[in-house]
């Protein structure tokens, strides 16, 4: 068992409901905020920044209710360096068992210019606002907004004032995502070494992702001595977002050998909350997002899939179950190999020998070349459409169909009938009608089309269509089915499959065989 002391523990401060919600378009409803707060509380987040109570009646109500319902987490509200903001914030969070007022002001030259305050005047505002907050709440966090672009001497001076006024957490925001990891670590280290009273408080890091360095900067800050990371689920937040909670938490877990600090997060809850935040904020997670992206535990290429099937550690540094996923995904695509295909077929109950695997693999690659992603249903359709093809009396060799607004559709079909090539051209009312007519010219028959049904097996415009055709002739019924990314090709093959079944049926009737319905799928 490893013992963790306070200095090894990193406090996770989640601001999905405050900074995350500041993303344009990410506004959440009252109930959605309560739901997300409940999930954050349940997953072990130490502090939830639930909102900015002065901002609106809705924000105030949400923060108040979250404060009343919290069971484990400390509930924090944001306030400007204004008495009215701080009072309103306290009003909202006071009912929480554990609460915090977070007050801030922009300290860099650019931000001092906005309220047009001199350094001394701002120092006074900081002293008064933190003192006021501390008089209301015994847990106060102070942030010098745009700290990473604030003059060093002034930064030290205002932090000292905030500590003396009673702030117990000093947050160092990289408000515009400007800093780099070496600076981030150095800044925190030097502040702790320099500012009087710094060893009595916790230093926090609050990074934005404008240059894609938020996670690296946060972890560097921890290496420099910070013990609170401010972050959001999925990295939601202003502009390019905030540090992603799931990234820092998993980085500390996976690389604990070089970053020996722990968090209280139950990482198995990560996937669920990520999906809920994506759903309620309307901000979909990018496929290749670390930890929670759709592809974070997916492997398509053959060499990777083969490796994964032999030993998951070959291409995965964490287990999917660590973040709440049921398993790795090995989607099949044009880069996949035989090992993954065989594994997938076995999952569906198809036991194939080496020869059959070779044959299926060729057809699979043809399909994968035409499709972005080959889904499970595509594989099943592929297996079914390949069954018994070799013994068929009628086989399509090639086909060309012309259709559009300029006139009737025209189909030219070339078929092999018992080893002989025959072709025909026919026009019709649409591409499928023309195709079926051309096939009937090549193989005249009186079969009546009882059913023609098209179904998209998978999603997208490149989806495979499964076409089912049912023919009736002299009381005999035969069905055919085929899947293809080209609906007209699938239609032609399904029609020909049904005709082949009728031919078999005719032969069997001639031999006095049974007259039950025979379908393509029955003939194996």
Ligand X SMILES: CC(C)C(=O)C(=O)O
Give the residues lining the site for ligand ACO (CB under 6 A): 19, 22, 52, 54-55, 80-82, 104-105, 114-115, 145, 175, 238
Q: With CB cut-offs between 5 and 8 Å by kind, which of Mg ion, ligand X, ligand ACO, none does residue 458 bind?
A: none
CB 208 within 8 A of CB 240: yes
CB 402 within 8 A of CB 378: no
Q: Rounded to the nearest whole angstrom, what is the least distance from the CB of residue 324 to ligand ACO in the complex?
A: 29
Q: What residues from 353 to 372 belong to the interface with Mg ion (CB under 5 A)?
A: none
Select 214 or 432, whichever has its Cβ closest to ligand X: 214
Strand (E) or helix (H) holding 347: helix 338-347
| 329 φ, ψ (degrees, to nearest 5) | -115, 135
Q: Which residue is nearest to Mg ion (CB)?
A: 19
Query: Residue 174 interacts with Mg ion (CB under 5 A)?
Result: no
- Rounded distance, CA 337 to CA 335, Å? 7
Residue 242 in marked binding region: yes
Q: Which residues contact 95 (CB under 8 A, 6 or more apart)?
A: 64, 67, 68
Q: Give the shortest CB-131-to-ligand ACO separation in angstroms.
A: 15
Q: Does 19 interact with Mg ion (rule: CB under 5 A)?
A: yes
What's the min distance (Å) between Cβ of 58 and ligand ACO? 10
- Minimum separation from the CB atom of position 25 to Mg ion (A): 17
| Least separation in angstroms between CB 86 and ligand ACO | 10
Closer residue to ligand X in complex, CB, 38/173: 173
Taking contact as CB under 5 A, which single stretch among the options 17-25, 263-271, 323-331, 496-504 is the one that binds Mg ion? 17-25
Rank residues 19 and 378 by Cβ distance to Mg ion and give the closer one.
19
Question: Per the annotation, does 299 bind a ligand?
Answer: no
Task: Provide the angle, in degrees to the nearest 10, between the axes of the packed helices 338-347 and 354-370.
Answer: 100
Q: Nearest residue by C-beta to ligand X?
A: 173
The least CB distance from residue 141 to ligand X, in Å, is: 9
Which of 145, 161 has the CB closer to ligand X?
145
Q: Which does 365 bind (CB under 5 to 8 A by kind): ligand ACO, Mg ion, ligand X, none?
A: none
Contact 161, 126 (CB under 8 A): yes
Is-contact 49 82, C-beta < 8 A? no
Query: How far, in Å, CA of 264 to CA of 280, rounded?
Result: 25
> Which C-beta is closer to ligand X: that of 179 or that of 263?
179
CA distance 71 to 69: 6
Phi, psi of 91 (to 5 degrees): -55, -40
Shortest spacing between CB 109 and ligand ACO, in angstroms: 15
Specify whether the backbone of 173 is left (phi greater than 0), alpha (psi in -120 to 50) or beta.
beta
Query: Residue 55 binds what, of ligand ACO, ligand X, Mg ion, none (CB under 5 to 8 Å, by partner type)?
Result: ligand ACO
Residue 366 CB, nearest approach to ligand ACO (Å): 53
Partner in contact with 81, chosen from ligand X, ligand ACO, Mg ion, none, beta carbon below 5 to 8 Å by kind: ligand ACO
- What six digits make up the tokens of 20? 């995350």
443 annotated as a binding-site residue: no
The nearer residue to Mg ion, 163 or 172, going by C-beta atoms, is 172
Q: Which is nearer to Mg ion, 77 or 480 (CB)?
A: 77
Extract the tokens encoding 482. 């085929």
**Between the CA atoms of 485, 487, 490 and 491, what dihedral angle is there, to the nearest 10 degrees?**
180
The CA-atom distances, in angstroms, between 193 and each of 164, 169, 224, 449 are 16, 16, 10, 86
323 binds, among Mg ion, ligand X, ligand ACO, none (CB under 5 to 8 A by kind): none
Residue 143 contact partner, candidates Mg ion, ligand ACO, ligand X, none, CB within 5 to 8 A by sort of partner:
ligand X
Is residue 377 part of an annotated ligand binding site? no
Q: Where are the beta strands (DSSP E) in 325-475?
A: 394-402, 409-417, 420-428, 448-456, 465-473
Nearer to ligand ACO, 86 or 478 (CB): 86
Contacts of 76 (CB under 8 A, 6+ apart): 13, 47, 48, 49, 50, 93, 99, 100, 101, 102, 141
Residue whose C-alpha is closest to residue 434's, from 416, 412, 467: 412
Residues in touch with ligand X (CB under 6 A): 19, 78, 104, 143, 145, 171, 173, 175, 206, 208
* Residues that constitute the known binding site for Mn(2+): 19, 206, 208, 242
* Residues that constitute the known binding site: 19, 206, 208, 242
Binding region for Mg ion (CB under 5 A): 19
């Amino acid at each position: 068992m490893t013992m963790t002391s306070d200095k090894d523990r990193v406090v996770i401060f989640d601001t999905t409901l405050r900074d995350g919600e500041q993303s344009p378009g990410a506004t959440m409803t009252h109930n959605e905020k309560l739901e997300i707060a409940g999930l954050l509380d349940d997953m072990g987040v130490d502090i939830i920044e639930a909102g900015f109570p002065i901002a609106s009646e809705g924000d105030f109500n949400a923060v108040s209710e979250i404060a009343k319902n919290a069971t484990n987490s400390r509930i924090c509200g944001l306030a400007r360096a204004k008495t009215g903001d701080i009072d309103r914030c306290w009003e909202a969070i006071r009912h929480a068992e554990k609460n915090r007022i977070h007050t801030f002001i922009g300290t860099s030259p650019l931000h001092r210019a906005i309220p047009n305050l001199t350094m001394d005047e701002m120092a006074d505002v900081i002293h008064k606002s933190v003192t006021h907050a501390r008089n209301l709440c015994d847990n106060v966090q102070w942030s010098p907004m745009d700290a990473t672009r604030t003059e060093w001497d002034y930064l030290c001076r205002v932090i000292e004032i905030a500590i003396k006024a009673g702030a117990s957490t000093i947050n160092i925001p990289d408000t515009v995502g400007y800093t780099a990891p070496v600076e981030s670590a150095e800044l925190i280290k030097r502040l702790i070494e320099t500012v009087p009273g710094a060893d009595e408080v916790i230093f926090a890091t609050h990074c934005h992702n404008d240059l894609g360095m938020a996670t690296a900067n946060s972890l560097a800050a921890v290496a420099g001595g910070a013990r609170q990371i401010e972050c959001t689920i999925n990295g939601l937040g202003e502009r390019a977002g905030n540090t992603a909670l799931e990234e820092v938490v998993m980085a500390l877990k996976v690389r604990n050998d070089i970053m020996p600090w722990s968090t209280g997060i139950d990482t198995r809850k990560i996937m669920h909350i990520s999906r809920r935040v994506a759903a309620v904020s309307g901000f979909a997670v990018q496929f290749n997002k670390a930890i929670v992206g759709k592809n974070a535990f997916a492997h398509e290429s053959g060499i990777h899939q083969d490796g994964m099937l032999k030993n998951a550690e070959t291409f995965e540094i964490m287990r999917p179950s660590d973040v709440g996923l049921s398993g790795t995904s090995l989607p099949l695509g044009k880069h996949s190999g035989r090992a993954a295909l065989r594994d997938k077929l076995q999952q569906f109950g198809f036991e194939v020998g080496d020869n059959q695997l070779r044959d299926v693999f060729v057809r699979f690659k043809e399909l994968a070349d035409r499709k972005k992603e080959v889904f499970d249903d595509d594989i099943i359709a592929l297996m079914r459409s390949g069954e018994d093809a070799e013994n068929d009396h009628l086989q399509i060799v090639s086909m060309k169909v012309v259709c559009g607004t300029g006139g009737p559709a025209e189909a030219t079909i070339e078929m092999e009938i018992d080893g002989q090539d025959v072709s025909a051209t026919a026009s019709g009312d649409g591409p499928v009608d023309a195709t079926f007519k051309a096939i009937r010219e090549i193989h005249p028959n009186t079969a009546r089309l009882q059913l023609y049904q098209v179904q998209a097996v998978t999603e997208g415009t490149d989806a495979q269509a499964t076409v089912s055709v049912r023919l009736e002739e002299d009381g005999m019924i035969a069905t055919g089915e085929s899947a293809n990314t080209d609906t007209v090709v699938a239609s032609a093959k399904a029609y020909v499959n049904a005709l082949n079944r009728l031919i078999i049926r005719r032969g069997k009737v001639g031999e006095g065989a049974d007259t039950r319905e025979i379908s393509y799928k029955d003939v194996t």
